[in-house]
Structure 1
Amino acid sequence: MRIGRMGYGRNIAAICFALAAVAISATPAQAAKKIKDKESEVAMADAFRSTANAAKSALASGDMSTANSQIVGLQPTNALEKYVTASLKFQYAERRNDPQAIRRALTDMLESGAAPEAQVPYLRYLAGYYSYYLGEHNDAIAQVNYARQLGYTPVETTIILADANIKKKKQAEGLEFLEQAVAQQQASGQAVPEAWFDRAISLSYQNKKWADVAKWTQQKLALYPTAGNWRSGLINFQAAPGLDHQAQLDLYRLQSATGAIASERDVQAYAALAAKSGYEAEAMSVIEAARSNGKLTATEGVTSALLKSISVKAKKDIAALPAQVKKATAAKDGSAAASAGDAYFSLSQFPLAVAQYQLALSKGGVDAARVNSRLGVALARSGDLPGAKAALAQTSGNWATVANFWTVWVNQQAQRTASLGTPVTTNPTL
């Protein structure tokens, strides 16, 4: 429906968070087709019926001037006549794209006492819809809740309750309704608009609700796994306080795995963090890959200086790995094995990393959440997707959040493998 003359040029999607289109069973623009009077059930005065029929004919032909004069001339004396008059006013207002008049007509229809019982829930919804449309959020909530109590509960009612509460600064309640709307949409087999997730992520981010940022971002990525969405989602979450460098590094690794390293800044940040965390060879690989695919030039200053400073140590660390593995095998606890696993992981030698992580967990004395998280990723990159999901599920704290992001990716690899038989790559993709 277009209401441009009044500056209300918004459809149902625009009303509901300015979101993408929502599958609505019947929009307010179709209301005139759904709302029926009861002329066949109760007698109306002949003069009233004649004027009402003239108004209907004028509306049908688009003669708005005549329709208006006929409607103004109606003098209802009973409940049915009041309902018919209000219904004609509704149709006239709808044709003129006048939301204020539509809302008044709906009130008259409901208050007439003659609205068809089966139509009352939908009329209540329409009243709530237009109250929301006009910024009257308290009445919108009341009317839509009334409609839902009467059995009219499609997803658009939930969305209006979500946004009306958010606009009343009741963001927790609004997000609860939005979560219900997502569940309704999925249960109906309909696609959940991407913008619903964006709204929830934005509100959660503004309120520093980092667990909610992660939850909503992961739901969005499960359905809309574009490289751009992966990049923005992971970068947003990296602003969360309390993430240590190792957890942040694994988010950069996921960004790489999803093809979401998009800029020179991304490459610089990933490479610098890898080097800072003791994985100089990984930092070198990141820089060299970015140069080969054009994301970096060979003369770019920051990474050129970093590459020069880490190249010697990277070679020494690789040479020292066999001795590190031997030490891990003889150690009383799993710390050395976990470190060896991390080293192999950083070199993309994932099967070897798996063996060391499993050894570390069997010996104990390690951060099990971190080891399980990386074991899950290494298993996935080695092709064992069920094992990966099982390991990722054994995490806790911030590592559980990191693992949940990786689980989204693992699920997508499983779907791709099932549909196309495509093997999981074992090399990071910048």
Structure 2
Amino acid sequence: MKLKAVAAAAIGAVAFCFGAAPDGGLGFAAAAAQGQSVRPEVGKPLQAAAALIKSGKYKDALAKLREVEAVGGRTGNENYMLESMRVAAASGAGDADTMVRSFEVMKSSGNVAAAEQLRIMESIAGTYLRNNENGKALNWAQRYFKEGGNSATMKQVLQNAQFLTGDMASTIRDVSEEINADEKAGRTPSADKLNLLLNAAMRAKDGNAEAMALEKLLAYYPKKEYWADVLGRVQRKSTFSDRFALDVYRLQLATGNMKSANDYMEMSQLAVQAGSAAEGKEVVDKGFAAGVLGAGAEGERHKRLRDLMVKRLAESKAGEAEAEAQAKAAKDGNALANLGLGVAYNGQAAKGAKLIEEGIAKGSLKRPEDAKLHLGLAHMLAGDVSKAQQTWRSVRGNDGAADLARLWVIQSRSAKR
């Protein structure tokens, strides 16, 4: 329950029982007529506490309520009003344990309506969560739903508490159900839900849930900040291979996440080393077009790199026919698969894709999943997005190829919109 609602309920009750009389004193006529009268020695500190709560002085309100405790012979109604006010003050002060004690007293009186009980339990669970007492928050959230609550806010409290207490299986199950319900109802799942599912899936090493979270996060929120986050997560996986550094750069370039001159320079050099000189030159050209390369103290160095890319591209074109002949004469398909992507980036995408397919068909590939990943890129460069996506969906493994292929499927969908 939100603090304002707790405070309003308690203060409203006090206003009813202790309405101000015309002479400024405490008037109990209306309350007495309803059988709700309290004595002035109880009513005055309660009203003072209510005023302190309204002004945000919650700890002072708790101290003022101790004056009521000193009054002997309190009636059941006086005790109820005391504990109701204490729940409101404790909620504001972030004192969940005091809220619990007061709530249990109130509940035992039999005078708290079911809806009001749920609102107080909501406040207790939320306060425990804010205090990082996650186990207690989880217990109270579970109790809330067991007793009939259905608040969307409390669903978030429950799921966050599950995650923070290490119950990833429950987090994945519950958040997935919420996301599915959102989609069935035509609602866009919130980024918070999707990120929670992604984090839980990664901690649980649940590849299926992780894939779903990534796909939905980037499908619904295809902005470069999310792409940067997801690419960072993928690279931090313990099984991710460093040989995919160039492939990560390709996705960074495609999603607007090339941040520095060093990014452009390193990517261009990695492309040349991979036999894709045309790609290397294209990367440098984009760096100059973006104003990232060619300026500042390193401007001359960037120009030398551009000259080098022109030279490497010329060399690549001059040797392409011979490289293709050697690749086709080789016993295995590795050279064809490696050559194909460079050819695709060199303006012959359809031919490049065919070369990679020939390499895959020839067999004995050192890394067949890498070849399929790059075949998808060649198809995309050729403008056949459907074929690219079909190829990427066939990529398997846990070293990074499948992760990158899945991200290319998502990126290609976003690029079409």
Provide the TM-score with structure 1 as the length reference.
Answer: 0.69
The equivalent of 2:414 in structure 1 is: 412
In structure 1, the residue matched to 2:369 is 369
Shift of 1:291: 1.5
Q: 1:285 aligns with which of 277, 282, 285?
A: 282
Which residue pairs with 2:154 in the alignment?
157
User: Cα gap change, 1:93/1:117 in structure 2, threshold over 3 Å: closer, same or farther?
Assistant: same
Is the 1:341–1:354 contact (alpha carbons within 8 Å) kept by the matching residues of 2? yes
Alpha-carbon displacement from aligned partner over 1:85-119 (angstroms, at most 9, x marks no partner):
5335445666xx33336555433333433322354
Counterpart position of 1:343: 342
Change (3 A) 1:318 1:208: farther
User: Does structure 2 conserve the Cα–Cα contact (< 8 Å) formed by 1:271 and 1:286?
Assistant: yes
**Residue 98, structure 1, aligned to residue 98, structure 2:** no
The CA distance in 2 between the partners of 1:108 and 1:190, in whole Å, is 42
2:384 partner letter: D
Q: Is the 8 A contact 2:197 2:210 kept in 1?
A: no
Structure 2 residue aligned with 1:251: 248
Q: 2:405 aligns with which of 394, 403, 428?
A: 403
CA displacement, residues 17-67 of structure 1 (integer Å, 9 cap, x when unaligned): xxxxxxxxx634334678999x9xxxx9868513399979x97xx756999
Contact kept in structure 2, 1:76 and 1:82, CA below 8 Å: yes
Q: Against the structure 1 CA distance between its residues 52 and 108, is the aligned structure 2 distance closer, same or farther, given a 3 Å change threshold?
A: farther
Distance in 2, Cα, partners of 1:91 & 1:198: 31
After superposing the two structures, state which structure 1 stretch, 350-359 or 321-330, moved more. 321-330
Partner of 1:132: 129
Instruction: Give the corresponding residue for 1:51.
Output: 38
Whole-Å separation in 1 of the counterparts to 2:402 and 2:109: 58
What is the rounded CA distance, in whole Å, between the counterparts of 1:272 and 1:177 in structure 2?
Answer: 43
SS in 2 for 1:365: coil
Q: CA deviation at 1:155?
A: 4.2
Structure 1: which 5+ residue stretches go unaligned? 1-25, 417-430
Query: How many Å apart are 1:383 and its aligned residue?
Result: 3.1
Q: Is the 8 A contact 1:370 1:399 kept in 2?
A: yes
Q: Structure 1 280/190 Cα, relative in aligned 2: closer, same or farther at 3 Å?
A: closer
Which residues of 2 match residues 19-418 of structure 1 at below 5 A? 27-31=2-6, 49-51=36-38, 72=68, 77-78=75-76, 83=80, 85-91=82-88, 97-100=92-95, 102-164=99-161, 170-171=165-166, 173=167, 176-177=170-171, 180-181=174-175, 183-184=177-178, 187-188=181-182, 189-194=187-192, 197=195, 219-235=216-232, 237-240=234-237, 243-244=240-241, 246-297=243-294, 300=299, 303-307=302-306, 309=308, 311-325=310-324, 333-347=332-346, 349-366=348-365, 367-397=367-397, 398-414=400-416, 416=417
The total of aligned residue pairs comes to: 376
Q: Which amino acid aligns with 2:395?
A: T
In structure 1, what residue type is equivalent to 2:409? Answer: T
| Alpha carbons of structure 1 residues 147 and 65: separation in structure 2 relative to 1, 3 Å | closer
Partner of 1:420: none
The CA deviation at 1:153 is 4.6
Give the distance between the partners of 1:126 and 1:110, measured in 2 at CA. 15
Q: Deviations over 1:229-257 (max 9, x none)?
A: 32354245334455445522111111111
Structure 2 Cα separation of the partners of residues 245 and 345 of structure 1: 23
Unmatched 5+ residue regions in structure 2? 17-30, 55-60
Equivalent position of 1:6 in the other structure: none
Q: When the two structures are superposed, what TM-score results if normalisation uses the length of structure 2?
A: 0.71
- For residues 187 and 47 of structure 1, the distance between their equivalents in structure 2, rounded to whole angstroms, comes to 46
- One-letter code of the match for 1:295? V
Q: Displacement, 1:364? A: 3.0
Structure with the greater alpha carbon radius of gyration: 2
Q: Residues of 1 paired with 2:370 and 2:53: CA distance?
A: 74
